[in-house]
Amino acid sequence: MTVVRLASPLLILLACQNGSVPTYAPCAATDTCPSSTKCEASATGGATFCTKSCTTSNDCPNDDTGAQGICSSDVGPSATAAPFCYEACPTNGCPLGGTCVSVVATDTSIVTACLPGLTSPLSATSWTSTTLAPAATTKGVATSTYAIKFATGEFSPDTITVTGAFSATLTQGFNASSLYVGCTETTTFTGGTWMSTAQPSFTMGRIAVTGAIGSTNRTGCTDTTKNATNLANVYDAAVNQGVGDPFNAQGTTLTITSGGGGGGLPYGDKVDWTFTKS
């Protein structure tokens, strides 16, 4: 049985009585935080929330449910971050918004804290591209549809790295001068892991894929000897191996620029792959 903690109106009133927003809640410059906290970001480029610097968790105020705050210097892209107070993450998720992330507290214990303002344009999304890479054209590919899926990702304490499961399907048709006239080639990738590092913002950065295993089938070939089932490793190297590729996600459009390899793309030559959110 899961026990859900609900903040009573009295607790919320007490938490807010000295400020316009509760302790650990996201805030703006016009908001007033409860006494002993102020509206600031705990890491460069991070979201502002009502917090305070600390040495141990004993320095941190309770949240609006009465739970002790967490003191950690493990948050943010800098390895020399100052310790700040964070809301402890209850079993039902962060009540004031934010994302539950496993962090190391100043007493070296591993705890789960609510980190405000974290977002990923890739987590729990699917995208489709009809981009034709030069290497595909040389191979005789006339049409291509590449559908990729990024499962829900987990944030690292650095607040810019997200990791989740990856899968994809590549469907290609070939022109009349190729070795595979009439063929429809379908490659399914499963078992992969995607990792994005967002810089300078959550919508831009670098993406890498590892561990994706491809299985390729060719059907309908004019030369029936070209038909094939469960071919292995046809595109796996391009999808997995390398340093990853730059990405830029703006609304319903995702651009991944191949060239470094390992960014989840089936061809490694340099070209912008444009995806539409599906």
Q: Residue 103 pairs with which residues in a beta bridge?
A: 111
The identity of residue 122, as a single letter, is L
pLDDT at 74 (0 to 100): 93
Q: What is the 3-state secondary structure (H, E, C) of the chain?
A: CCCCCCCCHHHHHHHHCCCCCCCCCECCCCCCCCCCCEEEECCCCCCEEEECECCCHHHCCCCCCCCCCEEECCCCCCCCCCCEEEEECCCCCCCCCCEEEEEECCCCCEEEEEECCCCCCCCCEEEEECCCCHHHHHCCEEEEEEEEEECCCEECCCCCEEEEEEEEEEEEEECCCCCCCCCEEEEEEEEEEEEEEECCCCCEEEEEEECCEEEEEEECCCCHHHCEEEEECCCHHHHHCCCCEEEEEECCEEEEEECCCCCCCCCCCCEEEEEEEC
pLDDT at 3 (0 to 100): 37
Structure tokens at 211: 């561990």
- Per the listing, tokens 């094939």 go with 228
pLDDT at 7 (0 to 100): 41
pLDDT at 261 (0 to 100): 78
- Per the listing, tokens 């034709």 go with 132
User: Which pTM does this prediction carry?
Assistant: 0.85
pLDDT at 262 (0 to 100): 87
d(CA 15, CA 74): 26
d(CA 101, CA 274): 31
Which of 56, 61, 24 has the alpha carbon at shortest distance from 42?
24
Residues of the chain with pLDDT under 70: 1-19, 79-80
Whether the bond between 200 and the residue before it is cis, its omega within 30 degrees of 0, is yes
pLDDT at 4 (0 to 100): 37
The identity of residue 259, as a single letter, is G
pLDDT at 80 (0 to 100): 63
pLDDT digits (tens, 9 = 90+) for 163-198: 999 999 999 999 999 999 999 999 999 999 999 999
Structure tokens at 129: 């591209």
